[in-house]
Amino acid sequence: MLIVDDDQTILESTKAILESAGYAVQTAETSRDAIHKAKSDWFDIALLDIDLPDMQGTELLERLQEIKPGMIKIMVTGSASLENAIQSVNLEAKAYIVKPFNPDDLLQVMEEKLKERRAAERLDEDKVTGFIEERLQKLETLERSVKETNLEVEEAGKIVLHNGMPRSPTSTERAAVKAIETPSDRAAVKAIEKKRESNQS
């Protein structure tokens, strides 16, 4: 976690709250320091104060979205306004918390946002797996088609008859062989086979 606040008291108290909950925490008192740390390290969540000495927190939010779009950003402010709340939401802040806050409320918001991200990551993984499995089925169909046409594929990618007599492949046969021999597809096949083996074990 990264906490960005120019108030040393709030910085230390928030750090203590998060560490007591088991989070690893780094702090920054300026936007410049926060940007440097975001570039050099990975943080699941950044708590950003809106009023910072060298840059408005909403501007920092925008910069961090460019640097680490996957990081969860939560705005924290002691001077809440409709304007900065709307701006924060438009810049894709995941939450907006007003100081002073209840420690339990802060931890609850953070855990909810982490759960939402994990759910989104699982959904993305399922989509990728579905795409690869669909691609594998197509490849298996193409492979069967090549075999049914009584063809063999040499290492060099040439097609010959089973009796060893070469002939020029048709456009459909060339497409089938090309699909089966595509490196990305071979990698996809291996990935699916590995997943299937792990599910069976």
Q: Domain with 8 in it: what CATH number?
A: 3.40.50.2300
Same domain, 133 and 93: no
Question: How many Å apart are CA 159 and CA 151, to the nearest integer?
Answer: 6
Let me know: does 43 contact 26? Beta carbons within 8 Å: yes
Give residue 162's pLDDT. 46
Residue 122: both structure tokens together: 């699982």
Give residue 117's pLDDT. 81
Give residue 163's pLDDT. 47
Asked if the structure places residue 73 within a domain, the reply is yes
Q: What separation in angstroms does the CA of 72 have from each of 69, 91, 164?
A: 8, 12, 61
Give residue 148's pLDDT. 55
Please give the model's pTM, rounded to 2 decimal places.
Answer: 0.60
Q: How open is the CA angle 53-55-61, to the nearest 5 degrees?
A: 130
Give residue 156's pLDDT. 44
Give residue 187's pLDDT. 59
Give residue 104's pLDDT. 92
Give residue 179's pLDDT. 53
| Structural domain range at position 23 | 2-101
Half-sphere exposure of 88 (CA within 13 A, CB side): 25
Let me know: does 91 contact 66? Beta carbons within 8 Å: no
**Cβ neighbours of residue 72 closer than 8 Å, sequence gap 6 or more:** 44, 45, 46, 94, 110, 113, 114, 117
Domain count, the chain: 2
Same domain, 45 and 125: no
Residue 14: both structure tokens together: 């928030």
Give residue 19's pLDDT. 94
End residue of a domain, out of 66, 101, 136: 101
Same domain, 60 and 146: no
User: What residues in the chain have per-residue pLDDT under 50?
Assistant: 151-164
